[in-house]
Amino acid sequence: MSLHLLLPEDGVTELLGSWPDEPSVYERGATELDQLVTPDFFETWAFSGCTPAPEVAVMNLGGNPPRPSINPIGFMTNGRTDGAKLRRYYEQGFTIRLGNLQRVIPAIHEVSRKIQTETGYSNYLHAFLTPPGGQGLRHHWDQQMAVIVQISGTKTWELWQPKFRDPVRDHLDSTKVWDVRWQQEWIEKGPDQVYDLRAGQSMILPRGWVHNPHSLTADEPSVHLTFAIRERTPIWLVDQLISGVIRDEEFRTVLLPAEIHGEALRERLRETRRDLIEYLEALDMDEKAESVRERALTELEYTT
């Protein structure tokens, strides 16, 4: 079971059994994942230039002054990732993030695939290398559950209760509803929880929890992995239920321009609602459940 590469038995039980809404830290110990992602991992996948430039981010928001993400052009040569340039940024205090490694490394792809088989959720993996005294990202929240796996060094995680309940990518995404005043509020209030995650530990970080991860007080580099697990929701089930309407000719007929105004539009909406209810009531739920389960196990999403 691939989740056991990320969490000990009690952590896997909690994740699958209750899908927690509070952060938890576990003693993972060393697993096969630690043999795959060693402290030298970034020598192979970053500083060699092997990771595609669109999947690399270079950040230093803990500097004085903070510096935003570097445009990929800054670490590319002839259209490709330039490992030597990445190394120079790292030596200047920048965090290096290698994104979507399940698309690049076959062994990571296999871990990701097995997690989807175990949970029914698609997922992706980002790896972060942060120098001592560095910080890549500041306060933000994510729209999916994350399992943070500390490989080497120490990373401090300052956490705050969610600003909004159950955010998703299309609603309450932190980048879309952000208010610059919130960050100062969180700083003045102080974190609700603080964890210094050490090598061999993992943390379950539920979606929506505000986090400010950093290595500002560390004396050695930090390497950690973020496994982002995209939970399925009833919204996803709605999409699955109506996915077949495109095969029904009634739903493919044209809406005349005159029907997108006034009473004609209201009437057309009423008719479509009636037709949709009839369509849904006619579905064979046993047959639909089989196809939905198959999609849960195989459907990949390519946005992060």
Judge if 81 and 188 occupy the same domain.
yes
In this predicted structure, the answer to whether residue 62 has a pLDDT above a threshold of 80 is: no
Q: Are residue 77 and residue 205 in the same domain, yes or no?
A: yes
Considering the domain boundaries, does residue 134 fall inside one?
Answer: yes
Does residue 68 register a pLDDT over 90?
no
Residue 283 confidence (pLDDT): 97
Question: What per-residue confidence (pLDDT) applies to 302?
Answer: 60
The terminus-to-terminus CA distance of the chain in angstroms comes to: 24
94 & 224 share domain: yes
Q: How many domains does the chain have?
A: 2
Overall residue count recorded for the chain in this entry: 304
pLDDT of residue 169: 87
**Residue 147 shares a structural domain with residue 109:** yes
Kindly tell me if the per-residue pLDDT of 15 is higher than 80.
yes
Measured N-to-C along each axis, helices 234-242 and 285-298 cross at an angle, to the nearest 10 degrees, of 120
175 lies in the same domain as 43: yes
If pLDDT is split at 50, 70 and 90, which confidence band does 69 have? confident
pLDDT band at 63 (very low <50, low <70, confident <90, very high): low
- Give rounded-to-5 percent helix, strand, coil for the chain: 40, 20, 35
Q: Please check whether residue 20 lies inside any domain of the structure.
A: yes
- Residue 65: count other Cβ atoms within 10 Å of its Cβ: 6
Where in the sequence is the domain holding 244, given as residue range(s)?
Answer: 235-298
Mean pLDDT over residues 238-242, rounded? 95
Average confidence (pLDDT) over 173-184: 92
pTM of the model: 0.92
pLDDT, position 64: 66
